[in-house]
Chain A
Amino acid sequence: AQSVTQPDIHITVSEGASLELRCNYSYGATPYLFWYVQSPGQGLQLLLKYFSGDTLVQGIKGFEAEFKRSQSSFNLRKPSVHWSDAAEYFCAVAEIYNTDKLIFGTGTRLQVFP
């Protein structure tokens, strides 16, 4: 069965610092991969997704993620964090032929200090 692991429950960074949120998945083939962000009191918003092709994908709000098949990882990065990036971030995977069943990680809460 598929699974997603986000090993960091809570991360704190200073504004302007770089950010990397980790995501590891377990799946027999290459899955579809997603990163969503949930701001306080809001629903989930898609940051970026990977289906195939270039393993470095660009998303909204200056985020990017890199798919590494050898490490079963899809880490999210941002070179310079803004205070408005404080939120909870979820990695999710779906099977290529069963994209309706998104499996979510447990989330990483990002706190940004001025």
Chain B
Amino acid sequence: DADVTQTPRNRITKTGKRIMLECSQTKGHDRMYWYRQDPGLGLRLIYYSFDVKDINKGEISDGYSVSRQAQAKFSLSLESAIPNQTALYFCATSDFSSEETQYFGPGTRLLVL
């Protein structure tokens, strides 16, 4: 079984809809991250969390919100999706035991029409 899982893997939605992307991990890591990947731009950090009570904005948090429901779960929400949020979204985890290395999930491909 994968250590970092993301659901759904693919999603098509319409402008204005609210959607949630979910991430779960079995690595026991404290820190979790959400990134988006756009062609030619690499990965950019949206939000990150050190633990359940500690949520931090990343480089591009506008239009997104997150929820850390448990140590193992970190959800990303788009309250009102817009077409320029079409991207590939990755969840990642890390902590001191991973020697600062981030481990990535398989990604969620989102298309906003």
Contact = CB atoms under 8 A, between A and B. Distances in A.
A25 interface: no
A102 B45 contact: yes
A96 to B, nearest CB: 9
Contacts of A43: 4, 90, 104-107
A26 interface: no
Instruction: Report the contact-size class of chain B (Cβ under 8 Å from the partner).
Output: 20 to 34
Interface string A50-62: 0100000000000
Contact of B101 (A41, A42, A46): A46
Nearest to B4: A43
B94 interface: yes
Chain A interface category by residue count = 20 to 34
B45 A101 contact: yes
B48 A100 contact: yes
Interface stretch (B14-22, B36-44, B68-76, B77-85): B36-44
Given A90-B43, A106-B40, 19 more contacts: A32-B100, A36-B104, A42-B106, A43-B4, A43-B107, A46-B101, A46-B102, A46-B103, A49-B101, A100-B31, A100-B33, A101-B45, A101-B48, A101-B58, A102-B43, A102-B45, A102-B102, A104-B42, A104-B43
Interface of A: 4, 9, 32, 34, 36, 41-46, 49, 51, 90, 94, 99-102, 104-107
